[in-house]
Structure 1
């Protein structure tokens, strides 16, 4: 019997310009390869945004607009959820009885509809959202943003807890988030299903040409991370740095212009980013977030040389032994200066491969399919 699956995503997952999009795209490709008929539902996209490669993987693709500027503080729902309420999407989903896979809490409003109460519904977790917004509140300097992030964190905590009654299962990208859902919400329906990943190449040996930071700078926390690197690290060391960034602000452009040894690559496509990764000697992975597999971490470990992260990125992920760790600007300066003259060895690459293959086995599609279509597996 044919297997059909509705997948709801914030936007078309191609071109792949951040790690969440990579997981969506690789999941769709893997499910398609295994014979699943995919019905893709996207917000904030249009027919013009679709690459032919995505069309070929899906049985159907539908588009929806986000709610136009709902008042942030006047709704009982979190803004990110209220923003993606769409009755047309619900009308589309009730036409059949296929299971529904929702990418992220922001797209999960459909799961609360009484008309879909009897449907099998699953959520792919990338972060513990209330905790992510709590972190943004703590680090934000803008008073209005702090109030918004605090309120959103409060509403998200209540919403995520209530949502559990409407969801058949959650798929966390790391065991750290799985344990958090158990502890915070007493949720027993959350499972660890590793990020989908297609290795492009082995981690290259030898010496690369520069240090590298890459990521989507539309996230205020990622922007703050880049500005901190420039102000507190690369102001004092003159090792080349490449910043491969999606959506950099004028603030980032101005900061980069002050450092002649820093080069900015704006909105690189997938092939360009892969080439940039392969030529880097040190990949920088600092973050203030403590949930989810951080953007770019697996991509860097699979395809790059030395990876330098802070404790929050790798804590309780099982990846501590294959990353270099620094937790202050001074420590970053010291480790970058040391690693830049330290070749990446064949043995380091082999050790990394063994650990990654053990933690993220090449059977993720089978795990997901068994879970959605009624079979069980061990965590």
Structure 2
């Protein structure tokens, strides 16, 4: 029997070029394969309408996100208040189907109790108030820091809206434990969806260390500078890949012959880097959600060195080499620069990464509808 589902997304989920939208887009594709009729509702700001979404959804509706500074006033979080739409309510009423809210961002309707007769599911992409506290702690701009702190306080209070939904679907084991403590049996851990099908089997050795990410994000920028500090003192090549026009970062990279920058233009280019890398060095100052870059590296590349804030809540710690500071990263790099990546390690990856099987995870989701 064909199931119907409304999906409300915080952003246009294509191109799937950052973690949150990648989870949504890959989930939509998997739902479509299971013959689910998807009615997609998208809040739009800065990203264009995407015809590819029509291949997987019965209907796609776009709503303007209200980014006026006035939406940041009052007691509601800005990320929620800026995503309000009367037309969305009309469209939801027109078709009687369960509603999946992608992110706390999209849950303003839960406060109205207009759809209390529907099955209501919330996919939590973070513990949002904790995420914004970390953003504030790592931000040097005083205006932005103040905004992040205020938003964290609002989100902590607003999170109680989850009492009005039937199911909460965290994508991290640690976050699932947090929500279970507060909301009990309505919480179901649902691993993040991703574009990988199988663990890629590669030759035993690669050629360089790889760090990749969106370098317009403060956390990734700080991590890139930290890794430059590591690699400037060792004679091993580091490739920093992503999108950046930051003059300070690019200037630092040019100072060292063993460090290079590659501007990523498409997925195929990134895949080639994964397949040629000996080790992926992943570092983060924020322990929020599950890092898609970690999952992609484990499916597509060889060794992974990561700090605890990258791996926490993923269940993937046994597949990674943990290093939490510059000295530890250096020591672990020296051990594996010329070390073969073995069949035993590939077998272990296949076993543990079963938890990240899109087909079984979409079945878990459908069973809740």
TM-score between the two structures when normalised by the length of structure 1: 0.89
**2-side partners of 1:302 and 1:290: how far apart?**
21
Matches within 5 A, 1:1-379: 1-44=1-44, 49-52=49-52, 54-71=53-70, 74-160=73-159, 162-183=160-181, 185-197=182-194, 198-199=196-197, 201-230=199-228, 232-246=229-243, 249-357=246-354, 360=357, 362-371=359-368, 373=369
Tell me if structure 1 keeps the 8 A contact 2:6–2:99: yes
Structure 2 gaps, min length 5: none
- Equivalent residue of 2:216, what SS? coil
Query: Are the structure 2 counterparts of residues 99 and 324 from structure 1 closer, same or farther at C-alpha, using a change threshold of 3 Å?
Result: same
**2-side partners of 1:335 and 1:186: how far apart?**
40
Q: CA offsets per residue over residues 25-73 of structure 1, 9 Å max, x none? A: 2211111111101111222269954153x32111111111110323375
How far residue 368 of structure 1 moved from its aligned partner, in angstroms, is 0.6
Task: Compare 121-130 and 267-276 and name the one that shifted more.
Answer: 267-276
**2-side partners of 1:106 and 1:309: how far apart?**
29
Structure 1 gaps, min length 5: 374-379
How far residue 207 of structure 1 moved from its aligned partner, in angstroms, is 1.1
**1-side partners of 2:247 and 2:110: how far apart?**
39
- Equivalent residue of 2:114, what SS? helix
Tell me if structure 1 keeps the 8 A contact 2:200–2:299: yes
**2-side partners of 1:302 and 1:243: how far apart?**
19
**2-side partners of 1:51 and 1:345: how far apart?**
42
- Equivalent residue of 2:17, what SS? coil
TM-score between the two structures when normalised by the length of structure 2: 0.91
Tell me if structure 1 keeps the 8 A contact 2:16–2:25: yes
Tell me if structure 2 keeps the 8 A contact 1:212–1:282: yes
Task: Compare 294-303 and 109-118 and name the one that shifted more.
Answer: 109-118
Query: Are the structure 2 counterparts of residues 11 and 257 from structure 1 closer, same or farther at C-alpha, using a change threshold of 3 Å?
Result: farther
Tell me if structure 2 keeps the 8 A contact 1:3–1:36: yes
- Equivalent residue of 1:265, what SS? strand
**2-side partners of 1:47 and 1:219: how far apart?**
17
Query: Are the structure 2 counterparts of residues 26 and 252 from structure 1 closer, same or farther at C-alpha, using a change threshold of 3 Å?
Result: same
**1-side partners of 2:266 and 2:223: how far apart?**
22
Query: Are the structure 2 counterparts of residues 366 and 2 from structure 1 closer, same or farther at C-alpha, using a change threshold of 3 Å?
Result: same
Paired residues, what number?
A: 368
Query: Are the structure 2 counterparts of residues 182 and 258 from structure 1 closer, same or farther at C-alpha, using a change threshold of 3 Å?
Result: same
Tell me if structure 2 keeps the 8 A contact 1:171–1:191: yes
Q: CA offsets per residue over residues 181-219 of structure 1, 9 Å max, x none? A: 123x34431111112233255242411121111222333
Task: Compare 35-44 and 209-218 and name the one that shifted more.
Answer: 209-218
Backbone CA RMSD of aligned residues: 2.3
Task: Compare 358-367 and 165-174 and name the one that shifted more.
Answer: 358-367
Tell me if structure 2 keeps the 8 A contact 1:15–1:270: no
